[in-house]
């Protein structure tokens, strides 16, 4: 398969924490456009670390070691600035007060949070609100973990993407919400064939 058809490329990657035994050694990965991938493994096997590396949150090797859409995952800011790469994960709980720069536990309504994101297609926004069964009057400091997660997911998906990295985003959702969300992702991949969906399973946790 030609290089241009790969959304994600990892070539001979090595990575470790604090100079300990490498978590990844001579690791290679190629994911084609239009793929939906499920990442499965036991605790500590490096699932979240790999997703964070692909999202450009860890620097590894040279510019060509980890490439997303033919850009260096860590060195090139075009991926995030252009909205081509979306990363939705970052484990959070009641002890964590924000996702990125947006507070998820302040005394704000879900409507304030969702409609505060600029440059959004209103049709896409309404579809996500309905899909995730979000009550716009929810107060973020009073909702359950599952409700807060729905708002977080909605905000993370408001803008279209070419590569979407997900890290256990369905962990706080009920079965029906999970199935509806997975169906949404399937439709997204089929609608935009350049989209690569890379999912992190909660299996093994």
pTM of the model: 0.78
Please give the tally of structural domains in the chain. Answer: 1
CA-to-CA distance for 111 and 155, rounded, in angstroms? 11
- The pLDDT tens digits of the residues spanning 25-59 come to 999 999 887 788 888 888 888 888 999 999 888 88
* Contact predicate 160/192, CB 8 Å: yes
The answer to whether residue 101 is domain-embedded is yes
CA-to-CA distance for 7 and 182, rounded, in angstroms? 20
Q: Which domain does 154 fall in, by range?
A: 3-200
- The pLDDT tens digits of the residues spanning 85-126 come to 888 876 444 333 334 434 566 788 999 999 999 999 999 999
The answer to whether residue 205 is domain-embedded is no
User: What CATH number is attached to the domain comprising 186?
Assistant: 3.40.50.300
For tokens 């302040």, what's the residue? Answer: 106
């Amino acid at each position: 398969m030609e290089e241009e058809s790969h959304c994600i490329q990892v070539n001979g990657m090595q990575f470790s924490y604090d100079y300990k035994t490498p978590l990844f050694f001579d690791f290679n990965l190629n994911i084609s456009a239009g793929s939906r991938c499920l990442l499965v493994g036991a605790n500590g096997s490096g699932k979240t670390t790999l997703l964070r590396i692909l999202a450009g949150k860890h620097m590894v090797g040279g510019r060509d070691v980890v490439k997303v859409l033919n850009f260096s995952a860590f060195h090139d800011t075009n991926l995030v600035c252009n909205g081509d790469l979306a990363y939705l994960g970052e484990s959070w709980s009641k002890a964590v007060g924000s996702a990125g720069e947006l507070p998820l536990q302040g005394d704000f309504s879900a409507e304030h949070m969702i409609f505060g994101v600029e440059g959004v297609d209103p049709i896409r926004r309404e579809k996500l609100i309905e899909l995730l069964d979000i009550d716009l009057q929810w107060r973020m400091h009073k909702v359950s973990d599952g409700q807060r997660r729905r708002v977080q997911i909605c905000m993370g998906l408001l803008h279209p993407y070419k590569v979407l990295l997900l890290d256990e985003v369905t962990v706080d959702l009920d079965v029906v919400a999970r199935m509806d969300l997975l169906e949404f992702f399937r439709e997204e991949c089929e609608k935009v064939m350049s989209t690569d969906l890379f999912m992190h399973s909660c299996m093994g946790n």
